[in-house]
Amino acid sequence: MRHSNEGTHQATPYRNKHIAIIGMGVTGRSCTKFLLENGAKLSVFDKKVFEKSALCAQMQVSESSLFELCLLDEQTDLTGFDYVVLSPGIDPRHPALASVRHSPNTISDLDIFAQFNQVPCIGVTGSNGKSTVVDMLQRTLTASGKTALLGGNFGTCALDLLGRPADFIVLELSSFQLDISRRLPLAVACILNITEDHIDRHDSFAGYAAAKQKIFERATAVVVNRDDPHTYLASTSDYDASVSQAQPKGKLSSHNFWQDAQGLKCQEQLLIPWANIHLPLPHVMLNMQFVLAIHRCLNLPIEHAITELQSYTGLAHRFEFVAQAGNVRFINDSKATNPGACIAALESAHHLKLRTILIAGGDAKGADLSCLSAPLKRYVEWCIVFGKDAQRFLNMGEHIVLVENLQQAVSLAKQKAALKDEPSLVLLSPACASLDMFKNYQDRGEQFKQAVFGEAA
């Protein structure tokens, strides 16, 4: 049954309310446009100064709209507002938020979305793989005859999905979004994995994991990773569905999936053989398990989903094939912005049985990089590092080499690959964020591609 959000703008609790919007990035602009349409009076705050005419043009609203632009600093007073809407890009520990951070009237765009939305939502979070899983899921739901909208941390802000008829809304949810949100009912909530990331924002791994766990608070059904206890519900071991890379012991549930040497299975049934997928790698098959588990939670048949998954080619910057120069293959995994993602990439490279030269480094975001030591020794012949926290790699072995930038790293990687006449892999999988030297991970990945083609020419 298709649902519609049409008409949800009619009765609004925000009409004539004076609301502060904190942060004017993509989410802040989406909130501003939506709340203006719902009759609110706004003061929008950011750490940098915006020109109102340019901002109005971006949001496609009139310059006469009832909002003012304000600078966010330590002296900002937010106590007089009816509501404070916090964007995920603004650290909730900012001094200006101290007096309102825990107020019930401090909300997020997802809280506003939940008040208006009438379409069943599926929420997916995790340290690694969530963009791939939600992209897969939208495709498999479409192949199953359902209209599925995709947004959240991936592409479209949740508020911008309101007013569009659909059977389901698929939301990629970051720890930043979950941490500041209070009410988000989900038909299915899924945590893929939790590894060290964003410790600089959440203060500790426990704080980061707690933010991820908030996805379960108002969920009807739950999907977890049996191989990662951090994804488990704290209160119970009874999950609606689960996945694993290893066949489970005990009773085999029709909602539990795993993979072995033959391929992806449910109970004893082989659903997808290794030979039938475009990129036959363990983490790709694991992502497929999550998608099928969500279909089962929604009581949807999986036959069309299986057909769609077998032709899935992946997203850019996620273990993306770039070029082949002689017997050297170049892979762009720039989205690997934490150690867990890098380890998964190294395991995939090992699965391909290729001699591996790794390019890594950047801003570690406070994460402990020591977990990389053993995988670097086991899987990597040479590791070339650059960026803000590159020095932290140097004690992990004599095969670690420091360079100044990405272009030097690619040039040196090609030289190292040429030392032996055997199939090799040059893998960009940084284990760190990109913002110390690049606009974002996409910019880093594109610059890697440009350097590869320059070297390969």
CB 297, CB 289: distance < 8 Å: no
* pTM for the structure as a whole: 0.89
- pLDDT greater than 90 at residue 219: yes
> Of the ranges 11-20, 136-145, 291-300, 439-448, which one carries the lowest mean pLDDT score?
11-20
For domain 113-310, the CATH architecture is 3-Layer(aba) Sandwich (3.40)
Q: Among this protein's residues, is 198 annotated catalytic?
A: yes
**What is the homologous superfamily of the domain 18-107 according to CATH?**
NAD(P)-binding Rossmann-like Domain (3.40.50.720)
Rounded-to-integer distance, Cα 319 and Cα 316, Å: 8
Q: Where are the domains of the chain?
A: 18-107, 113-310, 320-456
- pLDDT greater than 60 at residue 455: no
Other CB atoms within 10 Å distance of the CB of residue 59: 18
> Of the ranges 104-113, 245-254, 282-291, which one carries the lowest mean pLDDT score?
245-254
C-alpha angle 287/292/294, rounded to 5°? Answer: 95
Which residue in the list 33, 41, 94, 130 is annotated as catalytic? 130
Q: Which of 4-13, 122-131, 247-256, 447-456 has the highest mean pLDDT?
A: 122-131
> Of the ranges 12-16, 49-53, 210-214, 337-341, which one carries the lowest mean pLDDT score?
49-53
CB 348, CB 417: distance < 8 Å: no
Q: What pLDDT digit, counting tens, does each position of 264-286 carry?
A: 999 889 999 999 998 888 899 99
pLDDT at 64: 78
Which residue in the list 33, 41, 94, 198 is annotated as catalytic? 198
- pLDDT greater than 50 at residue 457: no
Nearest to 174 by CA among 199, 152, 146: 152
Structure-model confidence comparison of residues 352 and 374, the more confident one = 374
pLDDT at 55: 87
268-274: list long-range contacts, CB under 8 Å, 24+ apart.
Answer: 271/302, 271/306, 272/306, 272/309, 272/310
Q: Among this protein's residues, is 130 annotated catalytic?
A: yes
pLDDT at 456: 44
pLDDT at 288: 97
pLDDT at 249: 60
Rounded-to-integer distance, Cα 283 and Cα 275, Å: 15
Structure-model confidence comparison of residues 3 and 71, the more confident one = 71
What is the band of 254 on the pLDDT scale with cuts at 50, 70, 90?
confident
C-alpha angle 405/408/410, rounded to 5°? Answer: 110
CB 344, CB 434: distance < 8 Å: no
The tokens describing 414, both together, are 């090609």
Cβ-based burial of 3 (10 A; exposed 0-12, middle 13-18, buried ≥19): middle
DSSP element (H, E) containing 263: strand 263-266
Percent pLDDT > 90 in the chain is 82
- pLDDT greater than 70 at residue 6: no
Which residue in the list 5, 128, 153, 332 is annotated as catalytic? 153
Q: What is the CATH number of domain 320-456?
A: 3.90.190.20
How high is the mean pLDDT of the chain?
92
- pLDDT greater than 60 at residue 408: yes
How many residues in the chain? Answer: 457
Rounded-to-integer distance, Cα 41 and Cα 66, Å: 5
CB 335, CB 131: distance < 8 Å: yes
What is the band of 4 on the pLDDT scale with cuts at 50, 70, 90?
low
Rounded-to-integer distance, Cα 179 and Cα 355, Å: 41
